[in-house]
Structure 1
Amino acid sequence: MAENSSYLQPSIPRFDGYYEHWAMLMENLLRSKEYWSLIETGVVVAPANPTAEQTRLANESKLCDLKVKNYLFQSIDRSILETILERGTARDIWEAMRRKYQGSTKVKRAQLQALRREFEVLTMGESESVTEYFARTLAIANKMTSHGEQMDQTRVVEKILRSMPSRFNYVVCSIEESNDVTTLSIDELQSSLLVQEARMKSQKEHSEEQALKVSDAGRGTVRGNGRGRGRNTSRGRGRGRQQNKDLVQCFKCHKFGHYQSECPEWDNANFCEIEEEGETLLMAGVNSFDNNSREEMWYLDSGCSNHMTGKKEWMHNFDGSFTESVKLGNDSKMAIMGRGNVKLSIAGKVHVITDVYYIPGLSSNLLSVGQLQQKNLTIVFKHDVCQVIHNEKGLILTTQISSNRMYMIYAPVILPNHMQMSKTDEYYLWHNRYAHLSIKGLKVLHKRQMVKGLPDLKDIEDKCVDCLSGKQHRDSIPKKTVWRASTKLELVHTDICGPIKPESNGGNRCSDEKNPRVKPFIFSNQKLKNLGLELTPVKQCLYETVRSLQEKGHLPIPQMKEDFV
């Protein structure tokens, strides 16, 4: 019987790697051709002694199996067919494809677990549309169904409702209150959400259009042609001709509503950059404020790559060897004359800001947001509030946005205890550290490298007062007097002993050689050695050191032990 030429054969679905989709299409095709029984039960085999009817049925089954194999051969690519070993019947090819892409029961269970986890953590993105999210959710649900999971519409509807973003909260509440979720279908839910999404989109576009409009209320910001007088900046005869600036784009900030000369960014910020061999290292916005009233005010700057200040007296551990140049927006340059640490008192706690650049003449103090984040700090800008959070210490500070859209932090600065010491202070430091050792002794220690960190000190004119008082000695007796008596009784010689301690019975501390209570004893050098009273050079040095320390500490002599004498 001739076939009708207008009849179109159904196209055979090609296998593209997605087995579930391909198996669904092929199953539908084979069922429409009444060949699906060959996949379920296989080819009918005739018995050992078949009858004519059994032989006919077996031959018809083989013929139908060849037709099914023809469909499968056209659907599966050659490279995949070459990996299938058993191709005797259509059932063998089908089972080989199922085992290859679905695996065994254990593998299907593992894949189902992965799909369940993906389904549970599924949420709608902020920029994702309702249609895209429904397609993604239903695709996962269909995969779970093909792996044996029972997926009803109620489960999918509840999952979609609880995974919508925050902008759909009121829509979800209204749907749950007005409908029965157990009877609500997926298509009804999608249609309701699509209507609300279209309404939100139209409102957003309307608000954006309103934001681009610029209201021109006044006469001082328009332009005209020619020349004239008036309090405005328009040019032209008389008051000038006003122009619509809604479509005017600024060449500086690329925003609509004003010209480049009227851009507010000219007054808000002066951009500067640090240059090193022609490369840009830093971009920072520095606002000009009253320096006298806001000396301890710091500004959080996201465009500044490093902390900067103009106060050298705030620096701890100052490194003056670090120098760079700063190029401002007007091509002028400023010099970085060092870097150090600054201690700030925030909420009663002291925080150390490390690696702060010192720029003389800088009127504002800048805190780099990027440098703070490198110190394991989390900076959150939300609802006109900035919060700086430490991973271990928690919230460090909170500040609100100012009227000029800047985040300012007032933090008192803890000044260092001492400034950079001079050469004189450095000499006295080492002199006192080594118990008033002379400059000659300090030079010996430095020359022989006996002390780590001891610099090469130079002698100074101002001597140590304590050493002059503690190490002084009596002048030697002159060999010849410079003055002689010219008349009798002009010179009276007395030899007074004292003052001595303890006092005498009469309360005197001085006595002369004619006093009968005083008995002089003369010791030879040998007897002094036997008594241990001779002062060696080492003991003499130690004795002078003790006296210098006594003078330095204003200590009475009895409180010092002189056992070494």
Structure 2
Amino acid sequence: MAVEDSYTSPMMTPTGGGEDVLKPKAQWNAQEFESSKWNKKAMHTILCAMDENQYKLIQNTRIAKETWDILEVAHEGTEVVKDSKLQVLETQFELLRMDEIECFNDFEVRLMDIVNQSHQLGDPYSDRRIKQKIMRSLPDRFESKVTALEENSSYKDIKPSEVIGRLLAYESRKGLTSTPPKKQKGIALKASKVEKEESEDSDEDMTLLIRRLKKFYKSENKGFGSKG
């Protein structure tokens, strides 16, 4: 209430007339005490959430509404800046697709990051639109599950979080996570390197064995010659 409705310190007109002055606290009525109390509570709540840099922005304010407005502009920008951010988020939302080599959890993180940012800027996406986005953004390997979900009679009442949970379980159960080609290439190169190293080790062992055999036969021949 104190953040939505700006608080004004109680004022009074001097007995002799002139400009209004601050009203002594001893003369406050019940409503003025109540308003002051809520303003202090709101300020306390805001200040408890501040870090040092944020506090520098509002250290000279004593009114919760003024403090909130300063922080709102600092974090969200003016209405023009906010609208610009929302337009960017909307474009990202529309273009978002799950990659063929991407696991569903990574796609979920990217989607919900956009959804949460838009919500923080005061323009939340409806559950219906989030579900629709998920179902229309999945690769073909999810086609059977998407069809089953959409044909479910209770689908329209299912929350996005439940849809996400079912798709995560489906991917895990079916082992649908694709392995990126780069990773496969890396595995192939690693295997090739191991095979090469094993081959080189084998060649070195064979060379050492041949040397020992030659040395053995050489010593044996010398022995036969001395006996004759």
Give the TM bin, normalised by the shorter chain.
0.5 to 0.7
Counterpart of 2:4 (choices 40, 51, 61) is 40
Alignment of 1:394-413 (within 5 A): none
- 1:385-413 Cα shifts (integer Å, max 9, x gaps): xxxxxxxxxxxxxxxxxxxxxxxxxxxxx
CA distance in 2, matches of 1:251, 1:101: 53
- 1:141-161 Cα shifts (integer Å, max 9, x gaps): 232233343521111111011
CA distance in 2, matches of 1:168, 1:146: 31
- Are residues 1:252 and 2:207 paired? no
Q: Which has the higher strand share?
A: 1
Q: How far apart are residue 96 of structure 1 and its match? A: 0.3
CA distance in 2, matches of 1:202, 1:122: 20
- Are residues 1:94 and 2:37 paired? no
CA distance in 1, matches of 2:123, 2:45: 29
Counterpart of 1:136 (choices 110, 132, 141) is 110
CA distance in 2, matches of 1:48, 1:178: 67
Amino acid at match of 1:123: R
- Are residues 1:68 and 2:42 paired? yes
For the pair shown, which has the larger CA radius of gyration, 1 or 2? 1
- 1:314-365 Cα shifts (integer Å, max 9, x gaps): xxxxxxxxxxxxxxxxxxxxxxxxxxxxxxxxxxxxxxxxxxxxxxxxxxxx
CA distance in 1, matches of 2:195, 2:154: 56
Q: TM-score, normalised by structure 1?
A: 0.28
Q: How far apart are residue 188 of structure 1 and its match? A: 2.6
- Are residues 1:193 and 2:174 paired? no
SS in 1 for 2:156: coil
Q: How far apart are residue 124 of structure 1 and its match? A: 1.8
CA distance in 1, matches of 2:100, 2:170: 15
Retained in 2: the 8 A contact 1:65–1:90?
Answer: yes
Find the counterpart in structure 1 of residue 138 from structure 2.
164
CA distance in 2, matches of 1:204, 1:134: 16
- Change over 3 Å in CA distance of 1:75–1:128 after alignment to 2: same
CA distance in 1, matches of 2:95, 2:176: 30
Retained in 2: the 8 A contact 1:157–1:181?
Answer: no
Counterpart of 1:105 (choices 52, 62, 79) is 79
CA distance in 2, matches of 1:85, 1:39: 17
- Change over 3 Å in CA distance of 1:106–1:203 after alignment to 2: closer
- Are residues 1:175 and 2:149 paired? yes
**Higher RCO, 1 vs 2 (CA within 8 Å, ≥6 residues apart):** 2
Counterpart of 1:114 (choices 47, 70, 88) is 88
Q: Which runs of 5+ in 1 are unaligned?
A: 1-36, 206-248, 264-565
- Change over 3 Å in CA distance of 1:53–1:135 after alignment to 2: farther
CA distance in 1, matches of 2:177, 2:31: 69
CA distance in 2, matches of 1:117, 1:204: 27
Retained in 2: the 8 A contact 1:43–1:62?
Answer: yes
CA distance in 2, matches of 1:61, 1:82: 26
Counterpart of 2:127 (choices 149, 153, 156) is 153
Alignment of 1:118-517 (within 5 A): 118-179=92-153, 181-201=155-175, 251-253=194-196, 260=199
Q: Which has the higher helix share?
A: 2
SS in 2 for 1:149: coil
Q: How far apart are residue 113 of structure 1 and its match? A: 0.4
CA distance in 2, matches of 1:173, 1:69: 51
CA distance in 1, matches of 2:91, 2:62: 39
Retained in 1: the 8 A contact 2:61–2:67?
Answer: yes
Q: How far apart are residue 81 of structure 1 and its match? A: 2.2
Tell me the matched-pair count: 178
SS in 1 for 2:86: helix
Q: How far apart are residue 118 of structure 1 and its match? A: 0.8
- 1:367-390 Cα shifts (integer Å, max 9, x gaps): xxxxxxxxxxxxxxxxxxxxxxxx
- Change over 3 Å in CA distance of 1:250–1:40 after alignment to 2: closer
SS in 2 for 1:252: helix
- Change over 3 Å in CA distance of 1:203–1:76 after alignment to 2: closer
SS in 1 for 2:102: coil
Amino acid at match of 2:2: L
CA distance in 1, matches of 2:98, 2:153: 22
Q: Which runs of 5+ in 2 are unaligned?
A: 14-22, 180-191, 203-228
Find the counterpart in structure 2 of residue 78 from structure 1.
52
